[in-house]
Amino acid sequence: MSTTVFIVGVGAISAIGDNVAGCLASFKKGKAGIGDMVYLDSAYKNKIPVAEVKHTNEQLAALAGMSPKISRTALLSSIAAKEAMDDAGISNMDALRTGFISANTVGGMDKTENFFSEFLSNPGKGKLRNVVNHECGSVTELVADQLGIKNYVSTISTACSSSANAIFLAARMIRHNMLDVVIAGGADAITKFTLNGFNTLMILDSDYCKPFDENRKGLNLGEGAGYVVLVSEKIAKTLPKKAYCTLSGYCNANDAYHQTASSPDGIGSYLAMDGALKKSGLLPSDIDYINLHGTGTQNNDIAEGTAIKRLFDPHYPKMSSTKTFTGHTLGACGGLEAVFSAMAIHHKIIYPNLRLQTPMKELPFVPETVLGENITVRHALSNSFGFGGNCSSLIFSKL
């Protein structure tokens, strides 16, 4: 069994950039992608800010080389997955056992919403092509077909930990010699159903979110996609360029506390982080940066913060929530933040936690508020915690 899994390619699209380079440029400028709704047709326009990718479906389709008739989630997925595959530069992909493990939570719901609005007004209206790719797996299959991947294709949907779990599964399949190369991560588009659901839970901020601030009021929904290309050590040695880092640790845990809330004592968060550390053979003191799940809700931030205090006290690594830039991209956040964590190691940067003014009184640490550059990041921990207590942590390590 191969013990080392390498990250050799990255791809991303979000509210702050059409690709990885664009996202990194926005981080360096301190430019968030949150703002008024432009592309989503919602009753909450000009009332609830969101972090939309700055393109119409037709523009995304042109970038993806796909039809604008398919879902926005599939278009976002295609753009980021293709960038990651191209970045990896694997010339003989067809000769290798290649997998595509992708996550999402909304599937083709944006198109389904369009269908039903027309159908309900007139049963003779509504295009069936808008509902045939409704379920989450269809998004993955559409993109896998475009990428030409047939050896192994799978979809994971575990709420906000979805794409972290996709990366987790990819690593396990490589380590057990079942696959040579896996493109793993996830995508999600903002839909009316998602926006209305989170608004019903009363966890959306009517202003720009401020995770880990004493006066935080909730999250901002975002959309996007993020993928990494994972390979075995054998394949990594054949590539013309050096890998970005390794995936050294990963763990999924579930506290089963509540359908939509984390346990106040952060038991699921703690188990995920502690399990990832044990898998990697690292100590808490070895971690240089934590990419926080950091949604900005009252519940998440105290639960995650309590778990970090339990595990890292009294010596805390640098940490921040990149959701202050991208919004909470749901099924995509684990993939996007895996890309950001790998880039933190590769480019020696620490991202700022925007808009944090008053640190939480319950916690003895404060996330970074300014961009850190020329900082050696040996090990980065990325947290993705989902509804139902499904908590996952990934650890990326410098070569």
3-state SS, residue 397: strand
Judge whether 347 counts as a catalytic residue. Answer: no
Beta bridge partners of 17: 14
Cβ contact 282:395 at 8 Å: yes
User: Rounded CA gap, 136 and 104, in Å?
Assistant: 6
Q: Which two tokens stand for residue 123?
A: 């049963």
Judge whether 315 counts as a catalytic residue. Answer: no
Strand (E) or helix (H) holding 390: strand 390-397
Cβ contact 351:324 at 8 Å: no
Does 314 sit behind a cis peptide bond, omega within 30 degrees of 0 on the bond before it?
A: yes
DSSP letters along 67-119, please?
Answer: -TTS-HHHHHHHHHHHHHHHHHT-TTGGGS-EEEEEE-SSTTHHHHHHHHHHH
Within 10 Å of residue 183's Cβ, how many Cβ atoms? 28
DSSP letters along 337-367, please?
Answer: HHHHHHHHHHHTEE---TT--SB-TT-S---
Judge whether 293 counts as a catalytic residue. Answer: yes
Q: Which long-range contacts (CB under 8 A, 24 or more apart) does 28-34 make?
A: 28/349, 28/371, 30/352, 30/354, 30/371, 31/325, 32/208, 32/324, 32/325, 32/354, 33/222, 33/325, 33/326, 33/327, 34/208, 34/209, 34/220, 34/222, 34/325, 34/327
Number of helices and strands (H, E) in the chain? 12, 12
Q: Name the active-site residue from 23, 136, 160, 391.
A: 160
Q: Name the active-site residue from 55, 251, 293, 346.
A: 293
Report the catalytic residues.
Answer: 160, 293, 328
